[in-house]
Amino acid sequence: MPALAVKNLTKSYVTRVLFSDISFEVDTNEHIGFVGVNGCGKSTLFHILLGEESYDSGEIYFGSETRIGSISQAVSDSDSSLYDYVLEVFSELAGIEKQLDEINHELSACSDPERSKRLIERQYRLTSRYDDLGGSTYRARTRSTLLGLGFPEEELNRSVNTFSGGQRNKAQLARLLLSDSNLLLLDEPTNHLDIKAIEWLESFLVNYRGAFIVISHDRYFLDKVTNKTIELKDKRLFISKGNYSRHIELRSTARELEVRHYLRTQREIKRIEGIIEQQKRWNQERNYVTAASKQKQVDRLKATLVVPERDSASIHFTFTAKEVGGNDVLVAKKLGKTFKGSNGSPDKEVFHDVSMLIKKGEKVFLLGDNGCGKTTLLNILSGRMRPTSGSYYLGSHVEPAYYEQNMTSLDPNNTVLNEVWDKYYTTISRKDICNALAAFLFRGDDINKPIGQLSGGEMARVQLLKLMLTKSNLLLMDEPTNHLDIDSREALEAALEEYNGTMLIVTHDRFLVDRLADRILYMTEDGLTEYIGGYTDYLEAVSERKQAKGPERKPESENAASYREKKANKSALNRAKGELMRCEAAITAAEKELDGLNRELSLPGVATDYKKSAELSKKSDELRAKLDKLYDALVEAEERVQEAENLQ
Contact 492, 464 (CB under 8 A): yes
Question: Going along 2-108, which residue ranges are E strands?
Answer: 4-12, 17-26, 31-35, 57-62, 68-70
Distances (CA, A) of 473 to 362, 384, 394, 395: 11, 18, 11, 11
- pLDDT of residue 467 exceeding 80, the answer is yes
Nearest Cα to Cα of residue 406 among 451, 364, 459: 459
3-state secondary structure of 356: strand
User: pLDDT by residue (tens digit) across 330-373?
Assistant: 999 999 999 887 777 788 888 999 999 999 999 999 999 888 89
Rounded CA-CA distance 325/626 in Å is: 62
- Starting at the edge strand found earlier in the chain, the sheet holding 236-241 runs 68-70, 183-187, 211-215, 31-35, 228-233, 236-241
Q: List % helix, strand, coil for the chain (3-state, nearest 5).
A: 50, 20, 30
Residue 71 has pLDDT above 70, yes or no: yes
Q: How far apart are CA 515 and CA 518, in angstroms?
A: 9
253-267, 283-297, 299-313, 537-551: least confidently modelled range:
299-313
pLDDT at position 647, please?
A: 60
| Mean pLDDT score of the chain | 84
pLDDT for res 562 = 46
Residue 629: band (very low, low, confident or very high) from pLDDT cuts 50, 70, 90: confident
| Angle subtended by helix axes 91-109 and 113-132, to nearest 10 | 160
Residue bearing the bigger pLDDT, 75 or 146: 146
Q: Using the predicted structure, report yes or no on whether residue 399 has a pLDDT greater than 80.
A: yes
- What pLDDT is stored for residue 570 in this prediction? 43
Q: How far is CA 325 from CA 181, 399, 470, 505, 603, in A?
A: 60, 11, 18, 22, 50
Rounded distance, CA 290 to CA 598, Å? 82
Q: How far does Cα 75 stand from its chain's mean position?
A: 16
What was the pLDDT predicted at 554? 47
Q: Which of 77-81, 184-188, 252-256 has the lowest mean pLDDT?
A: 252-256
pLDDT class of 311 with cuts at 50, 70, 90: low
Which residue has better confidence, 633 or 157? 157
CA 134 vs. chain centroid, Å, equals 28
Q: Which of 7-21, 192-206, 304-318 has the lowest mean pLDDT?
A: 304-318
The band of 312, judged by pLDDT with boundaries at 50, 70 and 90, is low
Distance CA 43, CA 599 (A): 35
| Whole-prediction pTM | 0.72
Distance, C-alpha 253 to centroid of its chain = 30
Count, residues in the chain: 648
- Mean pLDDT within 139-157: 89
Distance CA 368, CA 525 (A): 10
Instruction: Report pLDDT for 276.
Output: 82
What was the pLDDT predicted at 282? 74
> Residue 254: what pLDDT?
67
Q: What percent of the chain has pLDDT over 70?
A: 90
Neighbouring C-alpha atoms within 13 Å toward the C-beta of 190: 30
- Report yes or no: 10 and 20 within 8 Å, Cβ to Cβ: yes
Structure confidence by residue, pLDDT tens digits, 553-604: 544 444 444 434 443 334 334 566 667 777 777 887 887 888 788 878 778 7
d(CA 394, CA 485): 33
Question: Residue 70: which pLDDT band, with cuts at 50, 70 and 90?
Answer: confident
Cα–Cα nearest to 73, from 34, 103, 95, 47: 47
**CA dihedral of 89, 142, 32, 62, whole degrees rounded to 10:** -20
Burial readout 455-469 (b: 16 or more C-beta within 10 A, e: otherwise) = eebbbbbbbbbbbbb
Phi, psi of 36 (to 5 degrees): 155, 160
- Tens of pLDDT, residue by residue over 409-440, are 899 999 999 998 888 877 888 888 888 888 88
pLDDT tens-digit profile of 82-122?
999 999 989 899 999 999 999 988 888 888 888 888 888 99
Contact 41, 11 (CB under 8 A): yes
The DSSP bridge pattern shows strands 519-524 and 31-35 to be unpaired
Do β-strands 4-12 and 17-26 pair in parallel, antiparallel, or remain unpaired? Answer: antiparallel
What confidence tens digit (pLDDT) does each residue in 22-60 have? 999 999 999 999 999 888 899 999 999 999 999 999 999
Residue 88 in contact with residue 175, Cβ under 8 Å?
Answer: yes
What does the angle CA 622 – CA 599 – CA 201 come to, to the nearest 5 degrees?
130
What is the pLDDT, as a whole number, of residue 379? Answer: 93
Write down the H helix ranges in 37-112.
Answer: 42-49, 82-87, 91-109
CB 180 within 8 A of CB 232: no
236 to 10, 215, 219, 621: CA distances (angstroms): 10, 16, 21, 53
Contact 240, 269 (CB under 8 A): no
CA nearest neighbour of 175 among 109, 89, 291, 245: 89
- Confidence band (pLDDT; 50, 70, 90) for 293? confident
Beta-bridge partner residues of 389: 336
Question: Residues 473-489: pLDDT tens digits?
Answer: 999 999 999 888 888 88
Give the pLDDT mean for 189-198.
85
Burial 214-225 (b: 16+ CB within 10 A, else e): bbbbbbbbbbbb
Cα(356)–Cα(573) distance, rounded to whole angstroms?
45
Query: What is the Cα 418 distance to its own chain's centre?
Result: 33
Check residue 571 and give its pLDDT.
Answer: 36
Residue 369 has a pLDDT of 86
Q: How far apart are CA 199 and CA 219, in angstroms?
A: 13
Q: Does position 610 have pLDDT exceeding 80, yes or no? A: no
Instruction: Report, as an integer, the average pLDDT of 146-175.
Output: 86
Q: Within a 13 Å sphere around the CA of 460, how many CA atoms are in the beta-carbon half?
A: 19
- pLDDT, position 526: 81
Q: Which residues, 6 or more positions from 220, have their beta carbon under 8 angstroms from its beta carbon?
A: 509, 510, 511, 514
Res 390: pLDDT: 95
